[in-house]
Amino acid sequence: MKIRWIIVSLFLVFHVLLVSPPVYSQEITVIPNGIIDKRIEAVVTGDNVRVRTGPSLKHRIITKVNRGTFVVVLERSSKLEVIGGKKNYWYRIKIKSSGKIGWIYGAFLKVSVKNLSNEKQPKVERALPLKKKATLVPNFIALENAGTISGFSSRPFVMYGDLDNNGTDEIITVTPSSKRGIYELTGYKYENSSFTEAYKANLFSHGLKKAAVIHSDLLKKCMLIISDDRISQIFIYDSKRKRLKSIYRVNSNFLTLGKLDKDRNYIIYTEKNPHIDNDGTVTYFLTISSLQSRNNRISVSGTRIRYRRPLPIKKLLCFDINKDGKDEIVAEIGGQNHGGGIVAISKEGSELHQIVNSGLITYNGMPFIKMWGKYIDGSPRIIVYTTNPDRYGDVSTEFGFLLFSLETRSLIIENFFRVNKMLDEINNFRSIIPVESKTDKTVAFIADYDKDKMMLYVKRPIFQ
């Protein structure tokens, strides 16, 4: 009898092992297809993870989330997909902090099946959302005609600053010459309601992509920074010899200068990450080095400091956003052809620390047209020229100036000043010219290019 029970028991054990369904890892199989009734919580395990409008890399990016962000899973895609050597599903999720809904690839989610409760969650560093100071009441701005500049066979790069260091800011243009790789820089002074040529010089670039004029405390003068796909250079204008003098050169797509310590200047540049994201997004390691000057040249001194993780940088600037007497690094970040994210990084001792990781949704996820820092009525503001944040999904939205301030480690939207409709043809020929000087109350100039007349129409925005 005893032997019979042993045989029966062994049979039942083998039957269970052979017939019972296998228990899979919860990483990709616990969430059933279709809309689920039970709310399932997950946490994001990567940084700058894209949330999309649908379950594939072809769908538009809605927003980005970082490691530690809690989401509620609503649905799972029907098929497994291999991306970057990883096999997983797409999940439709709701971000708990913002309420936004979209699709995220499961390789970046750690899923646990449980009903959401009021249990205390572990303390995790999360991205801080944008806040609005008040309900935005967008205002149109008036455009005051400042004058015209003629003689441009192609649309020029346009800047503003005192590059010849004579105490008066100029409108500065850079255009390609008839010689390959040679560009012509011209400064125009404004007097008697018209622009007249003040100086001219040539510069060389393999393919100019970006140009900006900044003022540095290091040499107590304005500098020109240009970048192509591989190299960034810093120039100063030699008024005696009437030429541009190169004073620094680095293999980098982005370059700027800033006073990251109260008593020391730094060069801030990027090093390309050799690993490309699954959707083709290029990321960069943010690197800083202290600077010293001698005989109107600058050189790197001390050790390099690199930010701990790569960022998908679109724009880069240095500005004292929190009025602590030293500059912070501010960057726009975004996916392959997208933008809208804002990261602010501060130097603390011998390390770089993130103080803001936020952003807003722009129309179709497009990057900002321009981004710069400006003191307005004695207070620091980040200004971006972009689409109306309250109408990011509307094709009839407007372009305009959006003002941010920093308050308790969060970015605050101050106001949006509308300029014109996004679909207006003039936007294809319009340049936004930041004015960063603390003493100049003008926030920016707008330059509209007329190809037929080979002319720039310069306008000054009047904020109501």
Per the CB < 8 A criterion, the answer to whether 405 and 381 are in contact is yes
Name residue 20's amino acid. Answer: S
> Phi and psi of 147, rounded to 5°?
145, 180
Tokens of 162: 């005192």
Q: How many whole angstroms separate alpha carbon 383 and alpha carbon 368?
A: 10
Q: How many whole angstroms separate alpha carbon 288 and alpha carbon 258?
A: 10
| pLDDT at residue number 330 | 96
Domains of the chain: 23-127 (2.30.30.40), 139-462 (2.120.10)
Name residue 19's amino acid. Answer: V
Q: How many whole angstroms separate alpha carbon 267 and alpha carbon 257?
A: 5
Helix (H, G, I), strand (E, B) or coil at 5: helix
| pLDDT at residue number 399 | 94
Per the CB < 8 A criterion, the answer to whether 323 and 379 are in contact is yes
Q: Look at the chain and count its residues.
A: 464
Tokens of 127: 């991205």
| pLDDT at residue number 29 | 33
Place of tokens 């620390």: 353
> Phi and psi of 28, rounded to 5°?
-135, -5
Q: How many whole angstroms separate alpha carbon 354 and alpha carbon 375?
A: 22
| pLDDT at residue number 381 | 93
Residue 29 is inside which H or E element, if any?
Answer: helix 26-29
pLDDT tens for the chain, residues 1 to 464: 545 554 545 444 444 333 333 332 333 333 444 434 345 778 888 888 899 988 989 888 888 888 778 888 888 887 888 888 888 888 888 888 788 889 999 888 876 444 334 433 333 334 444 565 555 555 778 899 999 999 999 999 999 999 999 999 999 999 999 899 999 999 999 988 899 999 999 999 989 999 999 988 888 889 999 999 889 999 999 999 999 999 999 999 999 999 999 889 999 999 999 988 767 789 999 999 999 888 778 888 888 999 999 999 999 999 999 889 999 999 999 887 788 889 999 999 999 999 988 878 788 888 999 999 999 888 999 999 999 988 877 888 999 999 998 887 788 888 899 999 988 989 899 999 999 887 888 999 999 999 999 999 999 998 86
